Structure 1
Amino acid sequence: MDSITGTSLYPSHRCKTIHLVRHAQGIHNVAGEKDYDAYNSYDYFDAHLTSLGWQQVDNLHKHVHVTGLSKRIELVITSPLLRTMQTAVGVFGGQGYADGIDAPPLMVEKAGNSDRPAISSLNCPPFIAFELCREHLGVHPCDKRRSISEYQTLFPAIDFSLIEADEDILWTADTRETNEHVAKRGMEFMNWLWTRKEKEIAVVTHSGFLYHTLSAFGNDCHPSIKSEICKHFANCELRSMVIVDRSMLGSDSATTNFRGKIPSGLDLPSDVAAEKHLVN
C-alpha cells in the first residue's frame, strides 16, 4: 500500500470479484422480529421466502439485468437451504421455464410453499450448493436443511455434488455454532473460492455468515471502508467486492498480459541503459 495515497496495486489475475447476497425475507425473519423465541420453533424449519421476500427477489433480478451483472457472473454459489436457493435462482436464473426445452429447470413450479412458476436454467451461469456458506449451525430449526434428495426434486439444475451427506449431519439440536467457528468456516470458504477458475462469482448466503466472515477483513483500510465491508446485510442486499490473493494461494497465470516484442538485445529504457553504460 502506498503510504501517501493509500492506494494499492495488484495483478488482475490475482483478484476475483464476488457479488455477495443475503437471502430475501424468510418467514422466520418476520416471526423472529415479533418474538425471538420463534427461532426455536419447528414451525420455521428450513424457512421459505415470504411474499415480500419474492418481491425483493424480483427487484434484485431486475437490478442485475439493468446493470449488466447477469452477463458477467460466471458462477452462482448458494447455501443449501430453501430460502437461499429460492433467492439464488430467482435473482440469477432465467425467465419462465417451458416444457419440452432440453434443460432442467432451476426451480420447479410452486417449490417451497411458493406460488412461483418454474424458473429456467437456460442462458444462466451454473449453480452450485455448498455447505461452507451456511448460516450458524444448530439449535434454530430455520437453519436446518432438508435432505439433498428432496432438494434435487425442487431444484433440478442446481449442482449438489459437493455435499457429502443426503441428510443434514452438521446441524445439532442442542449446540449453536460459535461466532468464532462461523468466521473460521467463512475463511475456509473464501480460500476455496481461489480453487475455482471463475473470476466473477455470486454468493447467496446468510446474514450471520456474511457478518462474521467479513469482519476479518478491512483492518488495513480506512475505518469507513472497514465499516462498509462489515456492516450487517439487509434482506436481499447485494454488495460487490474484490478479493485479492496476496500469498500466492491461487495458481492461475495471467491471461491478458502480453510480453510485447522480443528484441535482439535487452531493449532497456534510456535511464537504465545509461546506468549500465556508466558501470561498464
Structure 2
Amino acid sequence: MDSGPGPSLYPLHRCKTIHLVRHAQGVHNVEGEKNYKAYMNPEYLDAPLTQLGWQQVDNLRKHVHASGLSKRVGLVVTSPLLRTLQTAVGVFGGEGYKDQMTALPLMVANVGSSGRAAISSHNSPPFIAVEDCREHFGVHPCDKRHNVSDYQFPLSCS
C-alpha cells in the first residue's frame, strides 16, 4: 500500500492516536510471579505499585515529556484500580502539588502507602476512570478495588 503524500481515506489530521499503557509493577505481581496462589491473598486487594513500579512510572513520565507526547495528550482514560490510577496520574499528571494551589490534586500524598508526594492536576490532561477498562473481574483480591473516593482522586467514574 502506498503511504506517500496524497489523498487518503482517513486524513491524519482528523484521526486520533490512542496509546495503551499497562500499569507498572504492583505488589501483587512480585509474589504472584513466585507463586500463582499468592494472588488469592486478601492483602493484595486493589494492590498498589511497588517501588520498582514507581521507578517505571518515573521513567515513562520522562520519556513522555522528552518526546513531546505530553503536550498532545487530550484525555487519559484509566481503570479505577489503584495501581492503574497511580500509573496514569504519575505519568500524565501535573508537576508537584502544593497546598493552597488553585488546581486540585489528582492524587494526594502517600496514596497506597507510596511515600510519594501529591500530584497536581495543574497543566495535566483531564482524567476519567472507567470500570470497563479493568483487565478482568476475577476471583483474585488484586482484581477487586476500593472505592475511588477512598483515594481522594477527583476523577469522574463511569
TM-score by length of 1: 0.53
Are 1:159 and 2:149 counterparts? no
> 1:13 and 1:44, CA in 2 relative to 1: closer, same or farther beyond 3 A?
same
The equivalent residue for 1:36 is 36
Specify the alignment match of 2:45 in structure 1.
45
Give the total of aligned pairs. 155
- AA partner of residue 60 (structure 1): L
| Structure 2: stretches of 5+ with no match in the other structure | none
Q: Deviations over 1:176-224 (max 9, x none)?
A: xxxxxxxxxxxxxxxxxxxxxxxxxxxxxxxxxxxxxxxxxxxxxxxxx
Q: Where do 5+ consecutive residues of structure 1 fail to align?
A: 163-280
How far apart in 1 are the matches of 2:14 and 2:130? 23
Distance of 1:96 and 1:6 partners within structure 2: 42
Greater gyration radius: 1
Q: Which amino acid aligns with 1:119?
A: I
Q: How much does 1:6 deviate? A: 8.3
Structure 2 counterpart of 1:110? 110
CA displacement 1:233-280 (0-9 Å, x = unmatched): xxxxxxxxxxxxxxxxxxxxxxxxxxxxxxxxxxxxxxxxxxxxxxxx
1:57 aligned to 2:57? Answer: yes
Match of 2:88 in 1: 88
1:260 paired residue number: none
Identity value in percent: 68
Amino acid at match of 1:130: V
* Counterpart for residue 263 of structure 1: none
2:134 maps to 134
Identify the residue that residue 21 of structure 1 maps to in structure 2: 21
RMSD: 1.7
Deviation of 1:11 after TM superposition, in Å, equals: 2.8
